[in-house]
Amino acid sequence: MPFIAVHTTTALRAEQKDTIASELGKIVTLIPNKSESVLMIDISDGHTMYFAGKKMTRCAFVDVRCYKQAPFENNKAFTEAVFKLLQDVAELEAGEVYVSISELPVWGAKGSLK
């Protein structure tokens, strides 16, 4: 089960959140063995965020967590698609978006640990 959290300073309309969630469901398939059917998404907007000691008026941090490691090229394609999505839907430029991918060797789901 991949988990994607999108935190942004931008206040998003419900339609924007729905579009981001829907598109992330498609984009996650760029990572091998990941699909929307097991994807959990958290979209949190209107955050107060700081970078380099300065309060940011426009920025986003996307935290991606996946069970097991994927090839670099797949993660790169996924990351670039996320940048494009947030540019198209939330009007955030690439320099205002940061993406982190954590690939975990263990994952708890359905009452047990894998």
* Residue 61 covered by a domain: no
**pTM of the prediction?**
0.95
Q: Which domain holds residue 49?
A: 3-55+69-113
* Residue 94 covered by a domain: yes
* Residue 12 covered by a domain: yes
Q: What are phi and psi of 11, to 5 degrees?
A: -80, 120
* Residue 60 covered by a domain: no
Domain total in the chain: 1
* Residue 24 covered by a domain: yes
* Residue 104 covered by a domain: yes
Contacts of 27 (CB under 8 A, 6+ apart): 78, 81, 82, 85
For residue 57, how many C-alpha atoms fall within 13 Å in the half-sphere facing its CB?
Answer: 0
- Please give the chain's pLDDT, 114 residues, in tens: 899 999 999 999 999 999 999 999 999 999 999 999 999 999 999 999 999 999 999 999 999 999 999 999 999 999 999 999 999 999 999 999 999 999 999 999 889 998
